[in-house]
Structure 1
């Protein structure tokens, strides 16, 4: 983001956002001093998030600052083909509705804290729980790396280089660790609400300014027709296949994000959860749709940008809009302050879930089962700090564009979906089939991703998922399930 118009105004707004985050963490800690004694309180906000807070924390989980910063450049490079980004988010909501209400009810019934706990409760298998936990930790670590890179780019851009990339990463990571350590899920949810409002306001102001000062979609269409007609055309057969491939990959993959599932467990009631999802159904159009239009307008506003240059598109457009008048100026400063706050809040949410899986599912279950909840929480926090330190070293020299990093994690994370979702409904699903399918799908997706073959334009993660599902279904039908096991499964998933 090249927001050189901001300079010290950007520094000021970042300091304000940072102080607000710290204040939220301190307020939450003082209001709930037992927060560090209870896994439910720290990781799930006491299972008491209401409709508005739950909606905004779900919104922040699904639409991080990456949506505003990373999606318009992709639309710029691909043209109208990237309209698929809107159905991406619709598919996530559809996938949620397949299992979220039922998982919430079972989570409340059995007091589940993490999605890995569901695997342990459902299958009574150490191998399944550990493999699922490792896949989730991989996805979370990948997502956290993406957020750290976005923080550095955002801070450097918003301050016009006054605060360097690396300094911005370290500064906000320290703030994130402090307020997350103090307030847990409640701190994250409250800051999600703050940044969500700022983000929505700023994005719409950028859209309005872009239409006024760059000419809107008609101007962009005229330019593309003259100079880049390929960006106007309908996708060919392989592109359509790739569209549907990504729809399934991201739709299912994002819905089984571990930190998203923890928000399902955090809802005050099933009615609260459903009401929040009903509001989320509009967000693909109001968020992904809006940033897609901004990216398309950018094609004529800043023509012929290289891939690296196009990654700065939103900042370049905001810089022009901000220089028009004082209202747009402060709107853009607030927008990018909100973007960075959103990224920090998303990163903290991911880190919180990362810590919960380590402390509750790995350390608490298999390393030191007799330990106290306080000790589990402490171990999770310390491991989280170490993980962030390692990822900062990687983020110091970013490995690729935000979109490439965004897609990579779904290839493996999606392999937990059959065991998670099918296990909610099918009592004959056999533990050995689940483990074998998950492991085989992971190996296939990993090899295809590393070696690079792409069959029929379908994402490697989906080939792994297909094998995973086939093994789960056929394996479960072929393996004998004892009457006792079937009755246990039936009682477990019965509401």
Structure 2
């Protein structure tokens, strides 16, 4: 019996999930008519997200389309070396716990809306705030592009090419813009919950089906031993250094994602935030570990795929498993919808935060401080739509694999970490030192990235961060500090 996703079957699945997401936006709007009158309500869900909704919105932020669609192909190409992808996500949780509870308290104390809000409050420097906003917008735009590419590849791969890449991108971006425009953060958080449940169930069923029908890890190990022994080993020397540098790059970078930080401000209470993180601690094994195994099993199931072909690995495996029986067919239907919904939910989170930085931190703070909250929201929405149009044009012909797009954004985003995190605890940290460090670190990381320079196998973003930190620390000690500055810093940070 032919059960692979094709024709009207795939179209109906897309329409079903699209209708569900639109329904969430409409219901949220009808229940919260004042959503467009308040920045807090539109961008933070009224600062009232509970444990489960907060957990799933963090889950959708951390485990995006890149994880489910992009990680298995990378594991397929390099083998067991990519086991490092599981500690990636453990490192992110560790980083969250170093600053998220304290940042939540600052957010509550000062009514903060965005991460740039905190940087502006802490350093009171236009130069620092604008540079941080630019770096965050760059990272968000980069990440949004990644999600658009993932939408197209997910739809095309999981329908066996029945639905073209470009059509999948346009359809779901339109859905995303409509429900995000209607319901703001609440729509985003509720769709995150819906896709998270579907995604977890579908991914586990894909793994179970792959083990049952394709032989699992033993079969893949036998194949690799015979035909690709290099995929069985772990790196030595420089490779280990590269592992740890990527671990730091991703751990710090993902923890300071602007849309992740905004979720910290959205929590109902500090207790709610900590309980959500407790649940998140299990997810690296349940999600990243599972999709890693899918990629490894795929090595023997679909041998000798090119790089471009391997990018569609999840779709190939889902269709193959769906062909086995009706149970796995419907499980893959759920996975199919969950993957697409997960990608869209991550994209809407990014777009929401992108708009909030534009409306609150640039337009509302420097261009038109007298603007009403409704006008700020409208400006943020319009700029967000313009950014989407530009990124869709780029995504029409994607500029590389998902993994390459994924790494690029972290090189510059982590340059805001000293201001965001160190500024929470160290009163002596000076605005001028932070600005110089952030600027020099950005220039250095950019140059090294474009020149493909990686001394000792360490990513350029970390070299930039090292210089950035040194300038921040040494500069803050060398620069004179007035009694007023000292008192001001103590007052801002003090609880």
Q: TM-score range by the shorter chain?
A: over 0.9
> How far apart, in 2, do the equivalents of 1:452 and 1:403 lie?
16
Q: CA deviation at 1:161?
A: 2.7
Q: Is the 8 A contact 2:158 2:319 kept in 1?
A: no
Per the alignment, residue 191 of structure 1 pairs with 191
> How far apart, in 1, do the equivalents of 2:327 and 2:207 lie?
14
Q: Is the 8 A contact 2:56 2:189 kept in 1?
A: yes
Per the alignment, residue 43 of structure 1 pairs with 43
Per the alignment, residue 28 of structure 1 pairs with 28
Task: Count how many residue pairs are aligned between Structure 1 and Structure 2.
Answer: 493
Alignment of 1:63-462 (within 5 A): 63-462=63-462
Q: CA deviation at 1:222?
A: 1.2
> How far apart, in 1, do the equivalents of 2:46 and 2:219 lie?
51
RMSD: 0.9
Q: Is the 8 A contact 2:152 2:169 kept in 1?
A: yes
Q: Is the 8 A contact 1:10 1:337 kept in 2?
A: no
Q: Is the 8 A contact 2:147 2:346 kept in 1?
A: yes
Gaps in structure 2 of 5+ consecutive residues: none
> How far apart, in 1, do the equivalents of 2:138 and 2:104 lie?
24
The secondary structure found in structure 2 opposite 1:192 is helix
Q: Is the 8 A contact 1:318 1:332 kept in 2?
A: yes
Q: CA deviation at 1:4?
A: 5.1
Q: Is the 8 A contact 1:6 1:333 kept in 2?
A: no
> How far apart, in 2, do the equivalents of 1:10 and 1:158 lie?
8
The secondary structure found in structure 2 opposite 1:370 is coil
> How far apart, in 1, do the equivalents of 2:198 and 2:346 lie?
15
Gaps in structure 1 of 5+ consecutive residues: none
> How far apart, in 1, do the equivalents of 2:430 and 2:286 lie?
42
Per the alignment, residue 486 of structure 1 pairs with 486
> How far apart, in 1, do the equivalents of 2:208 and 2:28 lie?
36
The secondary structure found in structure 2 opposite 1:438 is helix
Q: CA deviation at 1:483?
A: 1.1
> How far apart, in 2, do the equivalents of 1:48 and 1:287 lie?
27
> How far apart, in 1, do the equivalents of 2:5 and 2:27 lie?
34
> How far apart, in 2, do the equivalents of 1:232 and 1:78 lie?
9
Q: State the Cα deviation string for residues 346-382 of structure 1 (Å, max 9, x = none).
A: 1011000000000000000000011100110000000
> How far apart, in 2, do the equivalents of 1:153 and 1:308 lie?
11
Q: State the Cα deviation string for residues 374-416 of structure 1 (Å, max 9, x = none).
A: 1100000000000000001000100000111011000000000
The secondary structure found in structure 2 opposite 1:456 is helix
Q: CA deviation at 1:311?
A: 0.9
> How far apart, in 2, do the equivalents of 1:163 and 1:83 lie?
32
The secondary structure found in structure 1 opposite 2:457 is coil
The secondary structure found in structure 1 opposite 2:169 is helix
> How far apart, in 2, do the equivalents of 1:417 and 1:469 lie?
9
Q: Is the 8 A contact 1:8 1:159 kept in 2?
A: no
> How far apart, in 2, do the equivalents of 1:233 and 1:436 lie?
42
Q: State the Cα deviation string for residues 241-277 of structure 1 (Å, max 9, x = none).
A: 0000000000000000000000000000000000000
Q: Is the 8 A contact 2:158 2:316 kept in 1?
A: no
> How far apart, in 2, do the equivalents of 1:263 and 1:9 lie?
36
Q: Is the 8 A contact 2:158 2:314 kept in 1?
A: no
Q: State the Cα deviation string for residues 116-138 of structure 1 (Å, max 9, x = none).
A: 00111000000000000000000
Q: Is the 8 A contact 2:6 2:162 kept in 1?
A: no
Q: State the Cα deviation string for residues 216-258 of structure 1 (Å, max 9, x = none).
A: 1111111111111111112111110000000000000000000
